[in-house]
Amino acid sequence: MTTSTTPLHHAPPGTVAPVTGWSGVVKDWSSDREAFAVPWSKAMMWIFLVSDTFVFSCFLIGYMTVRTATVVPWPNASVVFGLNVGGVEVPLLLIALMTFVLISSSGTMAMAVHFANRGDRINAATLMCVTAVMGEIFVGMQGYEWSKLILHEGIRPWGNPIGAPQFGSSFFMITGFHGLHVTAGVITLLTVAIRMLRGRYEGSGYRIVEVVGLYWHFVDLVWVFIFALFYLW
C-alpha cells in the first residue's frame, strides 16, 4: 500500500515566507494602520474643513438659486465692481488685485510648510508672517469694496437701488463670511509664527504649520468659487 502525501511548498531561498492565519491578518492590519496614520490635529482640521465646505456650498447654492429665480435684472459686475483709475473706469480691477494677493499667499504658505518640515523655524515663521500680511491686505481691499458699495452705490443687505434686492444680502453674507475666515487665518498665522520664534513647537516637528496651511489653502480655494460666481457670472 502506498501512502500519498502532499508536498510542502517552501519559500525560495532569500525570501520571507508569508504569514498566514490570524497572525497574518493582525500583521496586515497593523501595516495599514502605520501606512495611513494621520496625526490627530490634522484629522481634526480635515473634519472641520469638510463641515465648512458644506456651509459654503449651501451659501453658494442658495445664491445661484436666487440669481436664476429673480425676475429683476441682476447688477452688472463689471460696472458695480469697477475701479476708476485716472478718469478711466477699469472693470474688476480691484477684484483682480484681491484675487492675485490671496492666491499668491498660498505660495508663501506652501514655502512656510516646506521650511517647517526641514526644521527651519526662522524662515518658516517669516513666510507665515508674509502670508498673514497678504491676507490682511486682502481684507483691507475687501473693506474698501464694501465701503464703495455701501456709500457710493447705496447697496444694503436689505435693499439694492440698482437691481435685484437679493444682490446685497447674498453679496454681504457670503463675502463677509469668507472675510471672517481670512481674518481668523491671519490671527492664527501670526500667533503660530510668534510661538515658533519662541521655540514653542521644537518637540512636535512644527506639525502645526502644516495644519494651519490646510486651513489657509481651503480659504483660498473657496475664494476661487466666490470669484467665479459673483464677479464673472
pLDDT single digits (tens) 10-24? 555 555 555 566 665
Contact 228, 160 (CB under 8 A): no
Alpha helices in the chain (DSSP H): 21-35, 40-69, 77-80, 93-117, 121-147, 166-197, 207-226
Residue that has been written with the C-alpha cell 480691484 in this structure: 94
Contact 135, 218 (CB under 8 A): no
In a domain, 195, yes or no: yes
In a domain, 12, yes or no: no
| Mean pLDDT, residues 69-84 | 89
> Percentage of the chain with pLDDT > 90?
64
Q: What is the pLDDT of residues 78-111, one digit of tens each?
A: 888 888 888 888 999 999 999 999 999 999 999 9
Backbone CA torsion sign across 50, 53, 55, 57: negative
Res 172: pLDDT: 95
Q: What is the pLDDT of residues 139-180, one digit of tens each?
A: 999 999 999 999 988 999 988 898 998 999 999 999 999 999
Asked if residue 44 has pLDDT above 90, the reply is yes
Res 82: pLDDT: 87
The CA distance from 87 to 69, in Å, is 36
More confident call, 186 vs 22: 186
DSSP label of 11: P
Asked if residue 8 has pLDDT above 50, the reply is no
Angle at 122 between CA 117 and CA 128, to 5 degrees: 75
Residue 36's pLDDT band, with cuts at 50, 70 and 90, is: low
What is the number of alpha carbons within 13 Å of residue 163 lying toward its C-beta?
16
The CA distance from 65 to 62, in Å, is 5
Domain count, the chain: 1
Q: What is the mean pLDDT of the chain?
A: 87
Residue 202's pLDDT band, with cuts at 50, 70 and 90, is: confident
Length of the chain: 233
Residue span of the structural domain in which 82 resides: 38-231
Contact 83, 89 (CB under 8 A): yes
Q: What is the CATH number of the domain that holds 165?
A: 1.20.120.80
In a domain, 158, yes or no: yes
In a domain, 14, yes or no: no
In a domain, 174, yes or no: yes
